[in-house]
Amino acid sequence: MNRGGWHPKLTTWVDRVDARWHQLGLDATQRRQLRLELVADLSQARLDGAPLDELLAVDPDRFAADVAVGVGFDPPPDGSGDVAAPQRAAREPAAWRLVIADGASVARVAGAGLFGSVVGGVCGLALLLPAIGWVQNDRRMSYHTQGAVMLVIYATAALLAALGGALAVASDCTERSARRVVRRRAFIGLIVSGIAATLVTVSFASATGYSNAAPVVVTELGMVIGVCALGLCLVAMSIRRSRHG
Amino acid sequence: MSDMIEGGLESKRDSDLLRGVLDMCVLGVLATRPAHAYEVVERLRGLGFGAVSYGTIYPLVTRLRRQGLVAQESTASPVGPTRKVLVVTDSGRDALGAWRTRWEESTAAVRRVLSQVDESQAGSS
């Protein structure tokens, strides 16, 4: 086993501990704090040479129950049992609480992605403004060439927007080791949903005769945001599925 | 069968004994030098607590932190990022001192009982 660094298997182990905390009924804020502390401690243990197989040998369910008791979560009526034995039976959280918790985390990913995309898109356009000005003022360029260059510029701005969104989603991820995967999935999700949003919106714009009336523009904006948010939700759900099985 | 029952009882006794002393031993180890949870495991093993593991110590440390006997502090590291270590608080030192007094009284009483056993066995033989 390799020594000295974080290992993806530890992320899986921490996920199981977290899932057990969830089952026990610890709220999201408490779980997030406990998880951060556990990840920091495990990282330090690994840096100091703790063998990976020894850490992974710890039963995550039992560990989660013991930590929950340690933080004062529904302490047992008596102190009987083994030192590290689970002190109480697991209490299954109500289904609606799980749905709300899942919905909240998916919404957070979508919110972070949209915010990052807007920031990335605005920054991208600001950087590309001189190029846009150059294309529009260059009279030697044919109409078709001008269109092609503008398409490249807007595609670059879209890529920067997707990159901004992906970075924002990944920055919300607590484990450094998982950030790359999250970033990649969010980036691909934003590109795909961006293309879908463009197709839907352009079709709508074409149907309205490319109207620039305020209600039409607002609807088009809503379509872009809605389709991108839907894409981000699907990304968030796929990440959750792959992490929790 | 009786061996199995006795083995089980011995295992339970070991577990009870460990449970009774481990939290104070963790405080003792941290009072010597601040450390993170796995370092506490290693140091306890080095001192003869072969059965302790990260799965035992981390939850225990979590409880000690909640009780205010231990706190987490950041310390600068000459290499790498800042380290977070566990340190014994003033309350923790008081608890350790009180436990030590009780431990010495208890072990003295146990020693007296065992001395009587030794004396009675010596007298009968």
Q: What is the pLDDT of residue B9?
A: 62
Contact B38 A67 (CB under 8 A): no
Q: What is the pLDDT of residue B87?
A: 95
Is B103 near chain A, with CB under 8 Å?
no
Is B21 near chain A, with CB under 8 Å?
no
Is B18 near chain A, with CB under 8 Å?
yes
Residue range A136-147, pLDDT digits in tens? 787 787 888 888
Return the residue of A nearest to B72 by Cα.
A37
Domains in chain A: boundaries: 8-88, 96-244
DSSP type of residue A112: H
Of the two residues B27 and A175, the one the predictor is more confident about is: B27
Is B66 near chain A, with CB under 8 Å?
yes
Percent of chain B with pLDDT over 70: 86
Report the alpha-carbon angle A137-A141-A142, nearest 5. 125
Contact A70 B59 (CB under 8 A): yes
Q: In this predicted complex, what is the ipTM?
A: 0.79
Contact B55 A66 (CB under 8 A): yes
Is A71 near chain B, with CB under 8 Å?
yes
Within 8 A of A37 by CB-CB distance, chain B residues are: 72
| Mean per-residue pLDDT of chain A | 79
Contact B15 A69 (CB under 8 A): no
Collapsing DSSP to helix, strand or coil, B35 comes out as strand
Within 8 A of A72 by CB-CB distance, chain B residues are: 66
Long-range contacts of residues B15-23, Cβ cutoff 8 Å, at least 24 apart: B15/A82, B15/A83, B18/A83, B18/B49, B18/B51, B18/B52, B19/A79, B19/A82, B19/A83, B21/B103, B22/A83, B22/B49, B22/B52, B22/B56, B22/B60, B23/B60, B23/B63, B23/B64
Residues B63 and B58: their CA atoms lie apart, in Å, by 9
Residues B87 and B85: their CA atoms lie apart, in Å, by 6
A81 burial (CB, 10 Å; 0-12 / 13-18 / 19+) is middle
Is A53 near chain B, with CB under 8 Å?
no
Q: What is the pLDDT of residue B44?
A: 94
pTM for this prediction: 0.52
Residues A35 and A8: their CA atoms lie apart, in Å, by 15
Residue range A46-82, pLDDT digits in tens? 888 889 999 999 999 999 999 999 988 864 444 433 4
Residue range B66-78, pLDDT digits in tens? 999 999 988 776 6
CB pairs under 8 A between A and B: 65
Q: Measure Cα distances from A215 to A212, A218, A219, B49 in Å.
A: 8, 5, 6, 73
Low-confidence ranges of chain A (pLDDT < 50): 1-2, 75-92, 245
Is A40 near chain B, with CB under 8 Å?
yes
A240 burial (CB, 10 Å; 0-12 / 13-18 / 19+) is middle
Interface test with B, best of A20, A44, A62, A80 (most B CBs within 10 A): A44
Contact B58 A41 (CB under 8 A): yes
Q: Measure Cα distances from B121 to A184, B14, B113 in Å.
A: 76, 26, 13
Q: What is the pLDDT of residue A125?
A: 80
Contact A83 B22 (CB under 8 A): yes
Q: Which two tokens stand for residue A51?
A: 């063998």
